[in-house]
Structure 1
Amino acid sequence: MASVSSNCRNYSHTPVLQDMSMTVACIGLPLSCVAIFAVSLMVMASVYLINLLISDFIQFCCLIARAKIEDNNICKIVQSILEAGVTISICFMVLIALERYLVITSPLWYRFRRNIKTSLLVCAVVWLFPLLLFPFSLSNNNTLTIIVPCFLLLPLPLLLFFLVGTLRALSAARSVPDDEKRRIIAILVLVLLFYTLLFMPRIVVFLYTRTKYSETDFGIAAAILTYLSPVVDMGLYVFMKKGFDDFLLKFLCCCKVSHDDPSISREKTDNMNTEASMQLETETGKKADEDE
């Protein structure tokens, strides 16, 4: 097998990549539908989160279509739409992190400046941005392999800045509840972790091979990680729901208690025996006093 291929159809029909794409899509497609419906019912639903889930839905559809398409030209179009979906999802992940950052560092400004029209305008810009790259993605030159890695590297310093700035602001914040602090930090850490683990390997492949269709083992593994990102995005939805962090902490505590159950049982038994002995001594003392 060649290490680099210029044929989208051959690349997408690589056995490992094809099987993994279908598995991810079949699992993620119904989950994304449920998540989109659930988020839309939320009273204070995040516009950026809804758009992130919609981009994930598009990626799942493209994964299924690409695995079944035989024509190379149509495959290139579907692959371009898939890559646009990945780019859009990264943009919305950064916007979610920015939103959490502003909630803590500039709460008054965020409360009075935030409106649905601004959010929709930002979303429209994000969705239109990949159209600028679409002609390059269909061409055979390597322009896109230079533009895309440079663009995908931009979120890394931004996400680090948001995380560090939020941690500093939270350390001095007194009015923010502890559960809200935990949820905000969890969201920012997850966004940074998802970006580093799922997208950085693909960026390395882009920079090293200068092609979208790397069939090396590392190239296939990097592509699989990227296509897992829509499923992992569901974690953002879960952590943005209030009360989940408390539930997780309670669950972990219960697991720890269950794991340590024998020692706890022995300790409880010893305490009960001690209390029984003390009670018996007290009753004996009372009887002795009565006899006297």
Structure 2
Amino acid sequence: MASVGFMVCISLERYLMITQPLWFRFRRNIKNSVVVCVVVWMLPLVYVIPTFFKASFQLIDTVCGVFLLLPFPLFIFFLVGTSKALSAARSVPADEKRRIVAILVAVLLIYTLLFLPSIILILMEEAKFNPILNTTAFLLLKISPLADLTLYIFIRKGVVDELLASLSCCKMSTNQQVISMSNDMPATCSQSV
């Protein structure tokens, strides 16, 4: 639940940064970020606390499912709104536009692929008895920290650039080796090829 909450925070931040840049610049501070983080970490208690009071598991599952399903339309809204605002923005470089949209698409994909099967499992009574869906949803939730790490790598500006640069350097050195090998071939070999 906290992971989904932070994914919503990331999407909202990117959306506000693009669509409301002045408001975002003047309202963003450490105090607000700390308050948001505390609230995101406290929201899962809505799911945990009722278990101590012996509440109905059906009610707890429904609350959890609804809580996890609410971000889906938000992710779509943030992606579409940011894409529209970026297409009209002239001051944002093209590579930065691609990076911002890539982050929002990654958030939507992570949510859809990793969390949506569990939400379906929680909300649909018939799905709870399907062992394949149970196992799949469980495994996908277990790899969600890896997806969070991937998302963090996308958010960091220099990491992706360095990764792509190192990959292109490896490709360039391989191409240079092939070119130097073809230059070192005897004239008869290169003429026969």
Report if TM-score (shorter chain) is over 0.5.
Answer: yes
- In terms of mean alpha carbon deviation, does 176-185 or 221-230 score higher? 176-185
> What is the alpha-carbon distance in structure 2 between the residues aligned to residue 131 and residue 120 of structure 1?
18
> Percentage identity across aligned positions?
51
CA offset digits 1:198-233 (Å, max 9, x no partner):
00011111122389x867121011111011101210
The structure with the largest alpha-carbon Rg is 1
Asked whether 1:117 is paired with 2:35, we answer no
Give the gaps of 5 or more residues in structure 2: 188-193
TM-score, normalised to structure 2's length? Answer: 0.79
Residue type matched to 2:72 in 1? Answer: L
The one of 40, 45, 48 aligned to 1:134: 48
CA offset digits 1:16-46 (Å, max 9, x no partner):
xxxxxxxxxxxxxxxxxxxxxxxxxxxxxxx
Q: Which structure has the higher relative contact order (CA within 8 Å, separation 6+)?
A: 1
> What is the alpha-carbon distance in structure 1 between the residues aligned to residue 167 and residue 88 of structure 2?
28
Asked whether 1:229 is paired with 2:144, we answer yes
Asked whether 1:160 is paired with 2:37, we answer no
- In terms of mean alpha carbon deviation, does 107-116 or 117-126 score higher? 117-126
Asked whether 1:177 is paired with 2:78, we answer no
Asked whether 1:238 is paired with 2:136, we answer no
Residue type matched to 1:181 in 2? Answer: K
Give the gaps of 5 or more residues in structure 1: 1-86, 274-292
> What is the alpha-carbon distance in structure 2 between the residues aligned to residue 248 and residue 102 of structure 1?
28
Residue 256 of structure 1 deviates from its aligned partner by: 6.9
Which aligned pairs between 1:191-202 and structure 2 lie closer than 5 A?
A: 191-202=107-118
> What is the alpha-carbon distance in structure 1 between the residues aligned to residue 138 and residue 83 of structure 2?
32
Question: What RMSD in Å do the two structures reach over aligned CA positions?
Answer: 2.8
Residue 192 of structure 1 deviates from its aligned partner by: 0.5
TM-score, normalised to structure 1's length? Answer: 0.54
Residue 246 of structure 1 deviates from its aligned partner by: 3.0
